[in-house]
Amino acid sequence: SYELTQPLSVSVALGQTARITCGGNSIGSKNVHWYQQKPGQAPVLVISRDYNRPSGIPERFSGSNSGNTATLTISRAQAGDEAAYYCQVWVSSTVIFGGGTKLTVL
Amino acid sequence: QLQLQESGPRLVKPLETLSLACTVSGDSISSSNHYWGWIRQPPGQGLDWIASFYSSGKTDYNPSLKSRVTISADRSEDQFSLKMSSVTAADTAVYFCARGDTIFGIDSWGQGTLVTVSS
């Protein structure tokens, strides 16, 4: 079965750039989506289809996807960006999530 | 505005059947091009997809749960449901219902409901 690998945690200084990776076999050929989840809340879609931002998502959030790695980039990190982030793909009629990355803003 | 709301018992005994419903407003599960699904999250852990239902009637299941899970829909009420049999403590989780798209991702989520499996 297909697997997505994310780092357990990433730290970023306030105002700097955070990058969260999502690894998977030939993930560059798939549509990757990213979700932000804050404690006690439902996830929110922040990047769709590799790099598209849904309405209401700040331009500071961007995405890329190539080869075996997809990346979520958060520029000018704010305290409010501290959350868990999950990547997701749809493969062979199944929804697959990465294990999630906890972003800490220092 | 699309809204999804989970409902059902918050406490289920071991080996019994967990039953949840998701009521949709602001869209129709019959005419939508999306899929409607269930996702769970054990305490302190990540997201785990359970099952999806399409307006065509097609259903997909997580292979690891398929033998215990049924997803179904009441089109007249714009409601879809989850049944999970023979539950154990490992099935304790927040259960989310959601609307997704195979190309664009999951764009709407319910608030989630914590279901605890305990005697």
Q: Give the pLDDT confidence of B54-94 residue by residue, as tens digits.
A: 988 999 999 999 999 999 999 999 999 999 999 999 999 99
User: Chain B contact for A95, CB < 8 A?
Assistant: yes
CB < 8 Å to B102, chain A = 90
In the predicted model, is pLDDT for residue B32 greater than 80?
no
C-beta of residue B62 within 8 angstroms of C-beta of residue B68: no
Q: What is the average per-residue pLDDT within B5-33?
A: 94
Q: What pLDDT score does B37 carry?
A: 97
Give the residue among B31, B22, B37 at the shortest CA–CA distance from B79. Answer: B22
Q: For residue A87, what are the CA distances in angstroms to A24, A49, A97, B4, B82?
A: 10, 11, 6, 22, 24
The shortest CB-CB distance from A45 to any of B49, B96, B107 is to B107
Contact call for B104 and A90, based on CB within 8 A: no
Q: What pLDDT score does B16 carry?
A: 98
The shortest CB-CB distance from B60 to any of A43, A88, A94 is to A94
3 state DSSP class of A55: coil
Residue of A nearest to B97 (CA): A42
CB < 8 Å to A43, chain B = 47, 96, 106, 109
Contact call for A33 and B63, based on CB within 8 A: no
